[in-house]
Amino acid sequence: MSTNATNAPSTLSEWLVYWRIDLQLLVALACCAALGLFVLYSASGQSSTVVINQSIRLGIGLLGMLLVAQIPPEWFRVAAPWVFGFGVFLLVLVVVLGDTAMGARRWLDLGVVRFQPSELMKLAAPLAVAAYFRDRSLPPNLRDIGVGALLIAVPVLLVADQPDLGTALLIAAAGSFALYFAGLRWRIILLLIIAAAAAAPALWFNMHEYQQERVLTFLNPARDPTGAGYHISQSKIAIGSGGLFGKGWLNGSQAHLNFLPESDTDFVFAVFAEETGLFGVMALLGLYCFIVGRGLYIAMKSQDTFQRLTAGSLSLTFFIYVFVNIGMVAGLLPVVGVPLPLISYGGTSMVILLISFGILMSIHTHRKLLAT
Amino acid sequence: MAADNAIKNHAAERRMFLLRTAVAGAGIAVLVGVLLFRVSYLQVLRHGYYETRSQDNRMRVQVMPPVRGLIYDRNGVILADNLPAYRLEIVPEQVDDLDATLDRLAKLIEIRKADRDRFRERVAKTPRFRGVPIRLNLSQREVARFEVNRGDFAGVEIRAGLTRHYPLGRVAAHLVGYVGGITVQDLGRVDEKRYRGSNHIGKSGVEYSYESRLHGDPGSRVVETNASGRALRELEMNRPTAGESLYLTIDARLQKAAFDALGDQDGAVVAIDPNTGGLLALVSKPSYDPDLFVDGISHVNYKQLITDPHKPLFNRALQGQYPPGSTVKPVMALAGLETDQIEAEKQVWCPGFITLPGSNHRYRDWKRSGHGWVDMLEAIFRSSDVYFYKLGLKLGIDNIHRYGELFGLGARTGVDLPRENSGIMPSRAWKNGTRNQPWYPGETLNTIIGQGFMTTTPLQLAQMTSLIAQRGAGYKPHVLRAWKNPVNGGVSQTEPTALRPIALNDPQHWDVVIKGMEEVIGNPRGTAYHYVGQNLDYTIAGKSGSAQVTKLAQNQAAPDIEDVEHQFRDHALFIAFAPIENPEIAVAVLVEHGGGGSSVAGPVARKVIDAFRSQPPVLQASTGSGR
């Protein structure tokens, strides 16, 4: 597969290069995932089943990441339009014959596994935009911006229709970051932000009732003190009672007394904050920032437009996960179903996330070879 | 690598990208700052506050159910009331051994097996820190006995609440309806959030149709409780909003009078104010005690109600569909006049039966010997069947159907009460649609005297009577007269909905028909003269009807009433309105298997109108705004 196959690795750094591993990224991700397992053990009420399941998923995800890292980035560029097209096809299929779970059509039953095509789009959309702009003159002209916007809008609308507003917004963010790095002019960005603010009322009236509910509850938690507002009040109590140093691992009473709902999935940050306090939160944010920073560094070092846009947008998307989840748990943002990356209990989204880091590693480790 | 693209400037692109990355980095720094600021605010500045919430004190959100709106009659008499009630609740989280606690409780307070089973079911579905009721409606004695021993029962509490009571009981059961426990199906038709903490929901009658107004909106209370679950102090409070109180068009005294007038007979009475369409009374008999349903009817009582052959739960006034018999003759006479098929003065020979060409089937008059020569007036007040048979042959089913429909027959009135039936106003299309058969002429004869396929509800007959009384002008029947806003106490009136007026080619035709109805009661030869027309001090018009339950054999005359078993006797019907010059009340009476319309249903209608006239409503109908 690689040109240096004849040079058998002898030292650690050679071995890492041979296996296309970016050590800094790998260590940071592994630290984060290991931390996640501890938090989950506490948040799930000390359930070893949860920890074992999560470990298996992590294993699969890491393996997938390393496999993806072996693939030359050029392949992603070639594959991007096809994967994108296939993803759109699957999304349309979901609209036509998807399984309905909890009132939303998101799943495609493939007989063996049930699969959420919208997750695939989180990768495919930014890759497709990046692939499109590779050969264009940048900053892009209006026509190219239009094509890029279309590439983002199609999957976003299909996913929003399912309805899955959280995922749709993440796909939109991922695609928009690629556009941003492609050099979308500032005044256009400003214009878009103004337009989005103006379009908010229209969006509101097209939302499903439960989505409107969430926004209203966010604006006024007292409105529904026994339902969604209850989540927010309880998670604020958990975070606030943690103080500077936290109550200590396995000592967070909010989660263990079942006051905090969904404590091992979307609200896991509250448990973490309750048990490790402000210092723990700063450490976790630091770890996340390191991962994002490393991603941006990889983007800066890459020389091909496609790789640059891909690495940049994937890194920023990862940060958006972190920001939206913590913002929501801390009561800054409405409750949307976004997990805390690498820590929340859950499968598909974590595997996709790790695969995106596989792409980053591929970009970084193949770069040196391309440069020589 | 992109050499084909001459305008691609790699160096510039790279510079641009670095700048963009720097800006993104700055953005990230700002957002991380926001998160850190927020978390620091919660964990440092507000730490003390949240710590007290979280440590040994437990914050609990209690839903405060709203007070259900009351239901009054038009004069302010309470039809549905709220009474204080005590219930016993257990917070499972605070009880070590539920079974043992229940056993000990059972020594103080009666706890049946059904109570336990219901309790177990609800415990499984409720968060463990929420109270679950084990007994409702504790007596004062039980409350006292528990209070003395409450120290032994951590996690068990007495809660005060309200329960529904219907002062009129069975007299207005079908009208006011009742509330009952909330089922999964009930939650399907309401906003579930408004019912957290509520125990009751409207199941029938006004309680059902105005559920969303009566219920109100719940409030909530955030309280701090100690380890044994006792509320220590209130942190936050959103008061519940009580439901709206409703004022009905019903007059409770008239309702009672109508209920009593029916006596022990099964049947229905509907009284309506022709000037507004407001129902003055709506009675169905036999009735039931609505209070039985409020806190869950016992199995024995329920079984008794649903197996009773007289079907007490069945609302005959809206759901019962009976052949209207001769009560529709005034409408049919009007159809004859309006379509120029007959003049009022025309004499028709009534020999007691007619036959149709090509058949020897005899269509009989109720009076075997016939009525001799009769004109329209006489045909109405003596209720000649043969006169109308002959008219029917001229009119044809299409005209009959058209005029029946004009008077609201065969269609729901749209009254604001649940589960109304539409009856049947037969037509060619109807028969073709339901039986896939053509219309036969003999069926026209049955239809014009309100027999055969034709059925109506007592409410429809009352509406028809009201339309005749007002000479074609009328309002949609309704029971809601006004409602009171619970917040500012303001009272709003409902506007009566005008029906499409029935415009006649010649308005004098009303006079003929109404005159005929007046003679039914006022003329010594009228069918109801002896039963209704005695000692009158007001003008009244009416019409009797008898609806055949079984078909008579070919040459059989109607047998003597006493010889017929009860369930094969005709249904007795009577419609009336008074006074003729300025109608204030229109009544329809149905007595199931009562026999003669004039002799059995007529006196009931008279009693109802007498009661109305002797006790005019405190609030006259005209106090309603905008009419």
pLDDT at B91: 80
Q: Give the model confidence (pLDDT) of B26-44 as tens digits.
A: 999 999 999 999 999 999 9
What percent of chain A lies above the pLDDT cut of 70?
83
**Partner B contacted by A254 (CB < 8 A):** yes
**Partner A contacted by B193 (CB < 8 A):** yes
Angstrom CA distances, B538 to A126, B187, B201, B535, B576, stand at 88, 51, 44, 9, 13
Q: Give the model confidence (pLDDT) of B540-573 as tens digits.
A: 999 999 988 765 444 444 555 555 566 678 899 9
Q: How many CB pairs under 8 A join A and B?
A: 136
Average pLDDT over all residues of chain B: 87
Find all residues with CB under 8 Å of B381, minimum gap 6, and list them.
B516, B517, B519, B520, B523, B525, B526, B527
Element (H, E) at B590: strand B585-591
pLDDT at B611: 94
Angstrom CA distances, A138 to A132, A134, A145, stand at 12, 9, 10
Closest CA to B274 of B522, B514, B579: B579
Listed ranges B118-132, B175-189, B202-216; the one with the highest mean pLDDT: B202-216
Assess whether pLDDT exceeds 70 at residue A263.
Answer: yes
| A181, A243, A308 member nearest B43 (Cβ) | A243
pLDDT interval class at A16 (50, 70, 90): confident
Q: How many other CB atoms are found less than 10 A from the CB of residue B169?
A: 16
CA distance B210 to chain A (A): 24
List B326, B383, B466, B598, catalytic entry: B326
**Partner B contacted by A183 (CB < 8 A):** yes
Q: What is the 3-state secondary structure (H, E, C) of chain A?
A: CCCCCCCCCCCHHHHHHHCCCCHHHHHHHHHHHHHHHHHHHHHCCCCHHHHHHHHHHHHHHHHHHHHHHHCCHHHHHHHHHHHHHHHHHHHHHHHHHCEEECCEEEEEECCCCEECHHHHHHHHHHHHHHHHHCCCCCCCCHHHHHHHHHHHHHHHHHHHCCCCHHHHHHHHHHHHHHHHHCCCCHHHHHHHHHHHHHHHHHHHHHCCHHHHHHHHHHHCHHHCCCCHHHHHHHHHHHHHHHCCCCCCCCCCHHHHCCCCCCCCCCCHHHHHHHHHHHHHHHHHHHHHHHHHHHHHHHHHHCCCHHHHHHHHHHHHHHHHHHHHHHHHHCCCCCCCCCCCCCCCCCCHHHHHHHHHHHHHHHHHHHHHHHHC
Residues in chain B closer than 8 A to A295 (CB atoms): none
Find all residues with CB under 8 Å of A327, minimum gap 6, and list them.
A333, B34, B35, B38
CA distance A303 to chain B (A): 8
Domain ranges of chain B: 60-149+156-223+241-248, 252-614
Residue B229 backbone zone (phi > 0: left; psi -120 to 50: alpha; other: beta): left
> What's the average model confidence in pLDDT over B196-213?
90
B414: phi then psi, degrees, rounded to nearest 5 = 85, 20
Q: Give the model confidence (pLDDT) of B324-374 as tens digits.
A: 999 999 999 999 999 999 999 999 999 888 988 888 888 888 888 889 999
| B7, B54, B222 member nearest A253 (Cβ) | B54
Q: Give the model confidence (pLDDT) of B369-389 as tens digits.
A: 889 999 999 999 999 999 999
Q: Give the model confidence (pLDDT) of A221-260 as tens digits.
A: 555 555 556 677 788 888 988 889 988 888 776 665 555 6
Cα nearest neighbour of B238 on chain A: A222
Residue of A132, A133, A137 to mutate, testing the B interface (most B Cβ within 10 Å of its Cβ): A137
CA distance B137 to chain A (A): 26
The single residue listed with the structure tokens 């604020």 is A236
Rounded CA separation A273/A325 (Å): 13
B60-149+156-223+241-248: CATH, from 3.40.1160.10, 3.50.50.60, 3.90.1310.10, 1.20.200.10: 3.90.1310.10
Residue B26 backbone zone (phi > 0: left; psi -120 to 50: alpha; other: beta): alpha
Burial status of residue A82 (CB atoms within 10 A of its CB: 0-12, 13-18, 19 or more): exposed
Distance from CA of residue B131 to its chain's centroid?
A: 34
Q: What is the 3-state secondary structure (H, E, C) of A334-371?
A: CCCCCCCCCCCCCCHHHHHHHHHHHHHHHHHHHHHHHH
In DSSP terms, which residues pair with B282 in a beta bridge? B270
Q: Give the model confidence (pLDDT) of B214-239 as tens digits.
A: 999 888 887 766 544 566 677 778 88
Q: Which two tokens stand for residue B132?
A: 């679950």
Q: Give the model confidence (pLDDT) of A62-108 as tens digits.
A: 999 999 999 999 999 999 999 999 999 988 888 776 655 544 556 66
- Cβ distance B2 to A135 less than 8 Å, yes or no, reads yes
Give the sign of the dihedral formed by CA B500, CA B505, CA B510, CA B511.
positive
Angstrom CA distances, A223 to A227, A233, A322, A337, B446, stand at 9, 12, 27, 20, 62
Residues in chain B closer than 8 A to A232 (CB atoms): none
Residue of B17, B31, B55, B128 to mutate, testing the A interface (most A Cβ within 10 Å of its Cβ): B17
Distance from CA of residue B82 to its chain's centroid?
A: 20
Collapse the DSSP code of B27 into the 3-class scheme (helix H, G, I; strand E, B; otherwise coil) and give the result. helix
Is B44:A228 a contact under the CB 8 Å cutoff? no
> What's the average model confidence in pLDDT over A7-33?
85
**Partner B contacted by A333 (CB < 8 A):** no
Is A32:A287 a contact under the CB 8 Å cutoff? yes
Question: Where is pLDDT greater, at A124 or B227?
Answer: A124
**Which positions 52-81 of B are in contact with A (Cβ < 8 Å)?**
53-55, 58-59, 61, 63
**Partner A contacted by B30 (CB < 8 A):** no
Q: What is the largest CA-CA distance in chain B?
A: 118
Rounded CA separation B508/B338 (Å): 10
- Cβ distance B7 to A137 less than 8 Å, yes or no, reads yes
- Cβ distance B46 to A240 less than 8 Å, yes or no, reads yes
Residues in chain A closer than 8 A to B54 (CB atoms): 237-238, 240-241, 253-254
pLDDT at A136: 81
Element (H, E) at B251: none
Average pLDDT over all residues of chain A: 83
Active site residue B599: no
Assess whether pLDDT exceeds 60 at residue B119.
Answer: yes
**Partner B contacted by A95 (CB < 8 A):** no
Cα nearest neighbour of A286 on chain B: B32
**Partner B contacted by A224 (CB < 8 A):** yes
Q: Which CATH class is domain B252-614?
A: alpha beta
Half-sphere exposure of B397 (CA within 13 A, CB side): 20
Closest CA to A91 of A124, A140, A136, A128: A124
**Partner A contacted by B36 (CB < 8 A):** yes
- Cβ distance A296 to B25 less than 8 Å, yes or no, reads yes
pLDDT interval class at B627 (50, 70, 90): very low
Q: b/e string for A307-343 if b means 16 or more Cβ within 10 A?
A: bbbbbbbbbbbbbbbbbbbbbbbbbbebbbbbbbbbb
Q: Give the model confidence (pLDDT) of A284-305 as tens digits.
A: 999 999 999 999 999 998 878 8
Cα nearest neighbour of A254 on chain B: B54
- Cβ distance A237 to B196 less than 8 Å, yes or no, reads no
Q: How many other CB atoms are found less than 10 A from the CB of residue A97?
A: 10
Q: Give the model confidence (pLDDT) of A126-167 as tens digits.
A: 999 999 988 887 788 888 888 999 999 999 988 887 777 778
Q: Give the model confidence (pLDDT) of B56-88 as tens digits.
A: 446 667 788 899 999 999 999 999 999 888 888
Angstrom CA distances, A5 to A2, A8, A18, A71, B240, stand at 6, 7, 8, 14, 75
Q: Please state the ipTM of this predicted complex.
A: 0.90
- Cβ distance B17 to A308 less than 8 Å, yes or no, reads yes
- Cβ distance B17 to A181 less than 8 Å, yes or no, reads yes
CA distance A305 to chain B (A): 8
- Cβ distance A244 to B42 less than 8 Å, yes or no, reads no
> What's the average model confidence in pLDDT over B593-618?
88
